[in-house]
Amino acid sequence: MVGVENISRKEQVIRTAAELFKDKGYVATSMRDLAQALGIEAASLYSHIKSKEEILQSLCFEMAELFRDSLSGVEEADISFSEKLRKGILGHIEVMAKDLTASAVFMNEHRHLSADHLKRFLLLRINYINRFKKIIEGGISAGEFRPLDTKLAVMTLFSSLNWMPNWYDPSGIINPIELGNQLADMLIEGLKTK
């Protein structure tokens, strides 16, 4: 992680807000709380950001872009659907592991985006999920995966992956790549034809 002295004040505001949003929730976090955590006057915040929602938008849409980019090249790669799914899972885990706080906000607080931004966010999320669904559908068509309900399969996949910010300890005994491979083994084995 980059040292605080090496990032802009706006980035410090966003990172501190992310911690507060994760711990207290977006709604329960006030601009006064944020200013206090930063050791500045509340009025000073507005020279760095326009609003609390601007911070939430920044966190949610930057994470959405990272997730989207994690699939770049995976879908078109000349590899099996099992490998595509494994690479997609590993990419998802790597994005979350890079910033567990922002990941938790992305997963839990996005619902507080204003209507237009929430609609755009949900469309991005649906598109991302559907990309995984297409990989699973391709695996079924190729005879690599058993015929099954692809919506159930993809929702099970994301239910498993998206809990990571709540329980993963980066200082623990398993690194993100090992974690991703273990999760991929469990999830992909349940799809494969015998």
Domain holding 161: CATH number?
A: 1.10.357.10
pLDDT of 5 reads 53
Structure-token pair, residue 131: 């990309």
Structure-token pair, residue 170: 């980066």
Write down the residue that tokens 């992305």 correspond to.
Answer: 106
* Position 122 in a domain: yes
Q: Round the average pLDDT of the chain to a whole number and report it.
A: 91
pLDDT of 171 reads 86
Q: How confident is the model at residue 47 (pLDDT cuts 50, 70, 90)?
A: confident
| 3-state secondary structure (DSSP) of residue 113 | coil
pLDDT of 115 reads 97
Is pLDDT of 4 > 50?
no
Residues in contact with 56: Cβ distance below 8 Å, sequence separation at least 6, in sequence order: 21, 26, 105, 109, 110, 112, 113
Is pLDDT of 54 > 90?
yes
* Position 42 in a domain: no
* 50 DSSP 8-state letter: S
pLDDT of 44 reads 83
* Position 9 in a domain: no
Is residue 99 within 8 Å of residue 21, measured between CB atoms? no
| Mean pLDDT along residues 162-175 | 87
* Position 21 in a domain: no
The boundaries of the domain holding residue 175 are 52-189
Query: What predicted TM-score, i.e. pTM, was given to this entire model?
Result: 0.88
- The backbone torsions φ and ψ at residue 170, rounded to the nearest 5 degrees and listed phi first, read -60, -20
* Position 129 in a domain: yes
| Mean pLDDT along residues 120-130 | 97
Q: For residues 191 and 85, what is the distance between their CA atoms, to the nearest angstrom? A: 11
pLDDT of 146 reads 93
* Position 36 in a domain: no
| Mean pLDDT along residues 52-79 | 95
Q: For residues 171 and 193, what is the distance between their CA atoms, to the nearest angstrom? A: 36
* Position 117 in a domain: yes
Out of 18-22, 103-107, 185-189, least confident range: 185-189
What's the structural domain count of the chain? 1
- The backbone torsions φ and ψ at residue 107, rounded to the nearest 5 degrees and listed phi first, read -75, -40
* Position 37 in a domain: no
pLDDT of 6 reads 61
What DSSP string describes 95-148? HHHH-HHHHHHHHHTGGGS-HHHHHHHHHHHHHHHHHHHHHHHHHHHTTSB-S-
Q: Where are the alpha helices (DSSP H) in the chain?
A: 9-24, 31-38, 42-45, 52-70, 81-98, 100-108, 115-141, 150-161, 164-167, 176-189
Q: For residues 18 and 22, what is the distance between their CA atoms, to the nearest angstrom? A: 6
